[in-house]
Structure 1
């Protein structure tokens, strides 16, 4: 076993930084938890499976503003209600077997 000795002040500084990081994490969690409790959110894969579309078609929906989305930590999320509304309205673009869209 390796033993490393550091000054007590350095250890206290590390503890304080870890506490601050924990507080930031808890704050962010509280900030966004109410948003996620109000509405069920889906990621890209869940939307593609639910709508039976390819990732490229989903990208087209995003690019054309057909399906609204929110980005959190570089990941896209979609409201379940928006996905259901699009399904009920009929998908504006259909994909063929090779994943390309037909307009």
Structure 2
């Protein structure tokens, strides 16, 4: 057996590094267990959530409306991106402020997408 001698300050610093690594691992594990890790969904699941056809999903991808990743022939979407698109196109029937009504008008008439492209 080989014995290595180190100073107490070096040992304390080494223990500190080990604790930092352990804390980092605990954070990653807790994210995975709690479901906070980003979830990717298939094209079929995204179509079901949005209630659109395959052609509409293709148009959303082509227009850059929804970010996606493609592996082979399979498209995958982040669930958070799908939720963001839904929230951006949400229409509130109780909206009373002029800017809110104007945004809803643009969403309903699909002029909001054209307006975003110009800017």
Q: TM-score, normalised by structure 1?
A: 0.51
Cα distance in 1 between the residues matched to 2:70 and 2:83: 19
Structure 2 residue runs of 5 or longer lacking an equivalent are 1-31, 91-106, 115-119
Structure 1 residue runs of 5 or longer lacking an equivalent are 1-33, 95-102
Q: 1:42 to 1:93 in 2, by over 3 A?
A: farther
| SS of residue in 2 equivalent to 1:88 | helix
Pair member with larger Rg: 2
Q: Hey, what does 1:83 align to over in structure 2?
A: 82
Cα distance in 2 between the residues matched to 1:75 and 1:93: 31
Q: 1:47 to 1:73 in 2, by over 3 A?
A: same
Which has the higher mean CA deviation after the structures are superposed, 42-51 or 84-93? Answer: 84-93
Q: 1:65 to 1:93 in 2, by over 3 A?
A: farther
How far the C-alpha of 1:93 sits from its partner, in A, is 8.5
1:26-52 CA-to-partner distances (Å, cap 9, x unmatched) read xxxxxxxx9xx8311111110000000
Q: 1:76 to 1:42 in 2, by over 3 A?
A: same
Q: Hey, what does 2:102 align to over in structure 1?
A: none
Aligned pairs for 1:1-103 (under 5 A) are 38-90=37-89
How far the C-alpha of 1:72 sits from its partner, in A, is 1.8
Q: 1:73 to 1:55 in 2, by over 3 A?
A: same
Per residue, is there more helix in 1 or in 2?
A: 2
Per residue, is there more strand in 1 or in 2?
A: 1
Q: TM-score, normalised by structure 2?
A: 0.44
